[in-house]
Amino acid sequence: MSSVLKATAQQLSKVGYAALRVDEVAEASGVNKTTIYRRWPTKPELVIAALRQAKTPVRTVDKGDLRADVLDWVHDHLAFANTQVGKGLIRVILAERGHPELAAITKALRKEQQKSRAELIQRAIDRGDLPAGTDAELLADILFVPIMTRAITYGDRLPERYIEHAVDLVLAGARALDREPSSGRQVRRARPRLVAGAR
């Protein structure tokens, strides 16, 4: 049924959510409409399944290097955002984000992305690459959200140098601050030198 999900993503990127019709998806995919409804009884279920499949697979291999893992995550998402379907889907989501059904879909997908990012950070904490008291969700938001907002929401074409420097700056700050979870007291390590391109 991957052909149905592919056709759904393509149609969605062209006509938008409100104008999306299952009849057109069925015709484009060569699958009977009743078969589609049997698998995905509602339009929101069909669309969220299509969006999950449409995304470029994100590398989940733990390289043992937080910086490399972060940059892989960013590049994978930007690669999808720059495809024809990716651009169309982003345009639709931004244009129709007030639609209650689409808003619920994008909220669910956003939570999945937040979980994925936080897990990436938590792996680094577990192996000692970040202080034990680091808030994985907070650090993930600070690392990823500004870059992805500029690149996807605003459509800026960010130079690789900008992305790398942004990641280096945030990671340097996170590693400079050691936390003691039991007392909540913060202990600062020696301040690192933050230079352009520092690794």
Q: Which pLDDT tens digit goes with each residue over 183-198? A: 444 444 444 443 344 4
Average pLDDT value over all residues in the chain: 86
| Alpha carbons 72 and 17: distance in angstroms, whole number | 30
Q: In three state form, how does the secondary structure of 62-94 look?
A: CCCCHHHHHHHHHHHHHHHHCCHHHHHHHHHHH
Q: Does a structural domain hold residue 19?
A: yes
140 HSE (CA, 13 A, CB side): 21
Looking at the fold, whether 105 and 176 belong to one and the same domain comes out as yes
pLDDT band at 182 (very low <50, low <70, confident <90, very high): very low
Looking at residue 189, what is its pLDDT? Answer: 47
Looking at the fold, whether 38 and 13 belong to one and the same domain comes out as yes
CATH number at residue 11: 1.10.10.60
* Contact yes or no for 66/174 (Cβ under 8 A): no
Q: Does a structural domain hold residue 31?
A: yes
Give the distance, in angstroms, between the CA of residue 36 and the centroid of all CA atoms in the same chain.
Answer: 27
Q: Does a structural domain hold residue 199?
A: no
Looking at the fold, whether 33 and 77 belong to one and the same domain comes out as no
Looking at residue 57, what is its pLDDT? Answer: 59
Cα 139 to Cα 16, 27, 118, 129, 162, distances in angstroms: 33, 45, 8, 13, 18
Question: What 8-state DSSP symbol labels residue 153?
Answer: I
Q: Which pLDDT tens digit goes with each residue over 69-115? A: 999 999 988 888 888 888 899 899 889 989 999 999 999 999 988 99
Q: Does a structural domain hold residue 197?
A: no
| Alpha carbons 4 and 1: distance in angstroms, whole number | 5
Place of tokens 């500004």: 146
CATH number at residue 123: 1.10.357.10
* Contact yes or no for 77/54 (Cβ under 8 A): no
Looking at residue 58, what is its pLDDT? Answer: 58
Per-residue tokens: 195: 């230079």
